[in-house]
């Protein structure tokens, strides 16, 4: 059982772990899960080598409230600073690991499921960035179907409907599970004969749903077009045996993620486009916190904001949840 599990190894996630260490939590009780192969992936990928990583960004004053703080630095200097924070605090970071489900037990502790393992933790902090873009099919989707052809399962309420999910990875299985729970008639279209991109849990789940007659799987099926027929998507398949079929919704799970979809799927409530947050960045789920860009709205992007939000969340965590001390 970990005291603190952090999703995301960017500036917000790393500073969250550093704040926990400063508050007296042993490094063996803290774990960071990162889906990329290295920390601070967004900075490394999107920042040019010559670009300064500015402390004051989009109007946020460069005033630090917590343990971590930087002036304007080069990209290399910023990465080195974060490298040093991980090393000096003996932080445990699991790279190339994707969180796909989170469950809260009756005692308010959490089980976090990834594509490689499951973890138990008293507190969970989500420190993922706001970047995220789903992959799209090669054929055109009519603009008139924008509320019927979707790239997630939470932007539009889908209940008691006939739904086609397109894809064969973990997201496809998770979407099917989610849609079945909401009383939908679910079909999955997958271009291969067997699933080879899903983790074991998701593969077992989708095959069990098929055995129970709750999901129909169209193996070796390829969609060639999507048309608007009286406001609903008419799906045309390349294979004669599948022909064409009318659905209420088509949901694509072709890779790529949107943070909003992920947060909604794990139970966080939203007020419009923003997650509902209580004081100290606690979500509507008790003991589940957000830090970094996700707490800054459309002004996200400041590393100082990421550092400070971790310090703010840690105050609440120490005060109400864990046996640790932090200056108020």
Per domain, the residue ranges of the chain are: 2-132+258-320, 143-252
**Band (301; pLDDT cuts 50, 70, 90):** low
Q: What is the mean pLDDT of residues 321-326?
A: 87
143-252 carries CATH number 3.50.50.60: yes
The pLDDT of residue 299 is 52
Higher pLDDT, 278 or 273: 278
Q: What was the pLDDT predicted at 17?
A: 98
Read off the pLDDT band of 231 (50, 70, 90). Answer: very high
Matching fold, domains 2-132+258-320 and 143-252: yes
> What confidence score (pLDDT) does residue 136 get?
83
**With 60 as the cut, is the pLDDT of residue 290 above it?**
yes
What mean pLDDT is predicted for residues 13-33? 97
CATH 3.50.50.60, applies to 2-132+258-320: yes
Closest CA to 182 of 248, 271, 229: 248
pLDDT over 70 at 97, yes or no: yes
| pLDDT value of position 303 | 86
**Band of the pLDDT at 29, cuts 50, 70, 90?**
very high
d(Cα 325, Cα 28) in Å, to the nearest integer? 17
Q: CB 187: neighbour CB atoms within 10 A?
A: 20
Confidence of residue 282 (pLDDT cuts 50, 70, 90): very high
pLDDT at 261 over 70: yes
Q: How many CA atoms lie within 13 A of 213 on its CB side?
A: 0
Question: What pLDDT is recorded for position 141?
Answer: 94
What pLDDT does 298 receive? 55
166-170, 198-202, 290-294: which has the minimum mean pLDDT? 198-202
Residue that wins the pLDDT comparison between 26 and 136: 26
Higher pLDDT: 43 or 247? It is: 247
Q: What is the C-alpha separation between 119 and 111, in angstroms, rounded? A: 6
| Phi, psi dihedrals of residue 308, rounded to the nearest 5° | -70, -35
Per-residue pLDDT, averaged over 103-108, amounts to: 94
Contacts of the segment 146-150: beta carbons below 8 A, 24+ positions apart:
148/231, 148/232, 148/233, 148/248, 148/249, 148/250, 149/226, 149/233, 149/249, 149/250, 149/252, 150/249, 150/250, 150/251, 150/252
Nearest to 150 by CA among 121, 115, 175, 177: 175
Quick one: pLDDT at residue 134?
Answer: 72
Q: 281: pLDDT confidence band, cut at 50, 70 and 90?
A: very high
């Amino acid at each position: 059982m970990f005291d603190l599990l952090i999703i995301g190894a960017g500036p917000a996630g790393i500073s969250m772990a550093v704040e926990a260490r400063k508050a007296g939590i042993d490094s063996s009780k803290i774990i960071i899960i990162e889906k990329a192969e290295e920390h601070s992936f967004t900075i490394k990928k999107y920042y040019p080598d010559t670009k300064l990583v500015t402390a004051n960004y989009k109007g946020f004053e460069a005033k630090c409230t917590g343990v971590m703080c930087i002036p304007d630095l080069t990209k290399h200097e910023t990465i080195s600073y974060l490298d040093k924070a991980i090393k000096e605090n003996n932080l445990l970071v699991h790279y190339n690991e994707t969180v796909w489900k989170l469950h809260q037990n009756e005692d308010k502790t959490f089980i976090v499921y990834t594509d490689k393992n499951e973890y138990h933790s008293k507190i969970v902090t989500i420190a993922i960035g706001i970047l995220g873009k789903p992959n799209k099919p090669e054929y055109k989707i009519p603009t008139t179907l924008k509320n019927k052809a979707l790239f997630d399962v939470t932007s539009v309420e889908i209940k008691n409907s006939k739904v086609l999910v397109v894809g064969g990875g973990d997201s496809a299985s998770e979407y099917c599970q989610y849609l079945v729970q909401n009383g939908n008639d679910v079909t999955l279209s997958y271009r291969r004969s067997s699933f080879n991109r899903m983790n074991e849990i998701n593969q077992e789940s989708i095959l069990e749903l098929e055995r129970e007659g709750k999901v129909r799987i169209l193996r070796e099926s390829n969609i060639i077009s999507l048309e608007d027929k009286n406001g609903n998507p008419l799906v045309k398949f390349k294979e004669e045996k599948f022909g064409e079929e009318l659905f209420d919704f088509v949901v694509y799970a072709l890779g790529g993620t949107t943070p909003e979809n992920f947060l909604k799927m794990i139970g966080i409530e939203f007020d419009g486009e923003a997650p509902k947050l209580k004081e100290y960045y606690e979500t509507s789920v008790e003991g589940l916190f957000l830090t970094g860009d996700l707490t800054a709205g459309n002004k996200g992007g400041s590393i100082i904001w990421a550092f400070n939000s971790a310090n703010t969340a840690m105050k609440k965590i120490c005060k109400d949840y864990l046996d640790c001390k932090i200056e108020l």
